[in-house]
Amino acid sequence: MNITIISASPREGRLSLGVAKHLNNKIENSILIDLGEFNIPRFTGFGDTSGDLEQLRETLTKSDAFIIISPEYNGGYPGILKDLIDHCSRETFANKTVGIASVSAGAMAGVRVANHLKDAFFNIQSIVSPRLLMAGNVGERFSTEGKLIDDSFQGQVDSFIESIQWLGNKIKD
């Protein structure tokens, strides 16, 4: 079972990427897509092949499962992730396992974005893993290079990964 990790922050100096790198290092058979490095056009209709969409669709279609690592921006997720979801929709994400990790500089840990993402992926018929990773106070937990600074968070990271792998293997069979 292969997993594609999508880091959804486009921001310069993005801290979400540290979380994504950490998971990517821990998971065998995973790849990391940093949306900040891709050209994803604003959604204006289905079938768009401009920018990096074709390359992204090809990679995502080959994925058995996904981990979405998203910062909370004004209670929601970044526009670049919304565009990706709309461009790819059910054709790419339906019937596949999706794990959701929220990232926030604050103590609330991005609970609102996690809820929005649950609904969005439910709507495109993904199988959303019930175990979330809520990376609050992210700068104190992960370095931008992907090192876990706060050892007390390791258990949550491990449980999150295990639940996606468990579910992903069941769904794939």
Ligand X SMILES: Cc1cc2nc3c(=O)[nH]c(=O)nc-3n(C[C@H](O)[C@H](O)[C@H](O)COP(=O)(O)O)c2cc1C
Told to check if 102 binds ligand X by CB under 6 A, we report no
Told to check if 73 binds ligand X by CB under 6 A, we report yes
In the bound state with ligand X, the residue whose beta carbon lies nearer, of 27 and 105, is 105
| 126's tokens | 């993904």
**Which position among 60, 103, 157, 161 is part of the footprint of ligand X (CB under 6 A)?**
103
User: Which one, of 2, 36, 39, 3, lies nearest residue 17 by Cα?
Assistant: 36
In the bound state with ligand X, the residue whose beta carbon lies nearer, of 1 and 69, is 69
* Min CB(9)–ligand X separation in Å: 3
In the bound state with ligand X, the residue whose beta carbon lies nearer, of 41 and 75, is 75
Strand partners, 65: 3, 97
Write the CB contacts of 121 (distance below 8 Å, at least 6 apart in sequence). Answer: 68, 85, 93, 98, 100, 128
Output phi, psi for 115, to 5 deg. -65, -40
- Contacts with ligand X by CB under 6 A lie at 9, 11, 14-16, 71-75, 103-106, 108, 110, 138
